[in-house]
């Protein structure tokens, strides 16, 4: 609470930063939540990149046609 030219001022739920700017507590909490979500999203993206790529699928494929001999293929995807 301060006095300016005979008037009293009330400050409610405000925080002063080092440079003297005032931030509302609600705004500060909202920014904290948004920052936490951004950091979590970044961590998830990094974890997804670090996951090993699944080994490629390999196998034998047999193609059968009526009246023809079976053909075998080796597939590597």
For the entire predicted model, the pTM comes to 0.42
Q: How many domains does the chain have?
A: 1
Q: Note whether 23 and 30 are within 8 A (CB).
A: no
Q: Note whether 16 and 25 are within 8 A (CB).
A: no
Residue 39: predicted pLDDT: 95
Domain limits for position 30: 2-76
Residue 21: predicted pLDDT: 66
Residue 56: predicted pLDDT: 63
* Mean pLDDT split into 10-residue runs, the chain, 77 residues: 51 56 85 95 88 68 89 77
């Amino acid at each position: 609470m301060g006095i300016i030219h005979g008037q009293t001022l009330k400050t409610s739920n405000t925080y002063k930063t080092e440079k003297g700017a005032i931030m509302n507590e609600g705004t500060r909490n909202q920014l904290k939540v948004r920052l936490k979500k951004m950091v979590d999203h970044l961590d998830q993206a990094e974890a997804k990149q670090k996951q090993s790529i699944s080994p490629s699928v390999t196998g034998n494929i047999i193609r059968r046609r009526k009246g023809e001999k079976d053909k075998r293929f080796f597939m590597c995807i």
